[in-house]
A = this chain, B = another copy of it.
């Protein structure tokens, strides 16, 4: 039985770092900030509407079938029942930059499905919401990739064995692992960064990459910082995409000189991440990277956090009062 236990739910979904060096399309992790918030409310008319988007500078569509949050929420509603007697309105608070390589569209989609699921009394387990969130990714990026959405939903590190069929699972990591993310103030479209990749690669280079992917998974699960560092190399994607990011080489050198375990592009960029062992190191690395990107004339934001363990979280909820009449089977 699907009911609206709450009349209003507010959810936070964190930004995420996808690819993580060698792990192109298979690895992602969540960070504490930035992130998106969505308020979902029950309304009388059926279906999903987006009443407002704040903080996007007017760039995001309000049309449900064009907005990642709307598409994801609709996918959930269509799956849960044919027979819902009420509808849902979404209000989206973009609290992170668009096109930053930090999983902006994924965070919105994840926040939407977590909020709607909660409104309906949690008919789905957390992990089962991913299938709906990636529908939002499909409209934003042209493909249903689960790396950002999986990490934003579940928190921690997630590994994507396969997108079709979806096979996503969490992997353990050392508790002291910290992330530094620099967002230089330029915009790159994910679709463009995908087009410039070569369709064919050398087998020898692919072997080196899957050596690093397997070793990175082992390093994270063993809590072996040195192995994590030795594995954080991407000889396939990074050399191509990094040319779109002014100051990338300078930022990476600065991060490594400041003691980072590794440094690479976050998602398809332009954000750049580095991993380290403590908040103090993460801050020092952030300062060095910001100076490096400033030297090529770019302003930037820096985000320092532990790996975000919680993933998306319900911030507040209002119990249903007069809306009890909205219950359905």
Q: What is A's interface to B at a CB cutoff of 8 Å?
A: 22-27, 159-162, 167, 169, 171, 197-204, 206-218, 221-222, 227, 230-231, 236
Tell me if B218 and A26 are in contact (CB < 8 A).
no
Please tell me if the beta carbons of B210 and A169 are within 8 angstroms of each other in the complex. Answer: no
Chain B residues with CB below 8 A from A231, complex form: 161
Query: Measured between alpha carbons, how far is A159 from B24 in the docked complex, in Å?
Result: 20
Q: Are B200 and A24 in contact (CB under 8 A)?
A: no
Are A201 and B206 within 8 A (Cβ)? yes
Compute how far the CA of A175 lies from the CA of B235 in the bound complex, rounded to whole angstroms. Answer: 35
Contact of B211 with A214 in the complex, beta carbons under 8 Å: no
Distance in Å: Cβ of A110 to nearest Cβ of chain B: 21
Q: Do the beta carbons of B213 and A210 come within 8 Å of each other? A: yes
* Contact A210–B208 (Cβ < 8 Å): no
Given the interface contacts A197-B203, A201-B200, A203-B236, does A160 sit within 8 Å of B218 by beta carbon? Answer: no
- Given the complex, which residues of B lie within 8 Å of A169, measured CB to CB? 215, 218, 227
The residue that A203 contacts in the complex, of B23, B198, B218, with Cβ under 8 A, is: B198
B208 and A209 contacting across the interface, CB-CB below 8 Å: no
Of B200, B204, B218, which contacts A159 at CB under 8 A? B218
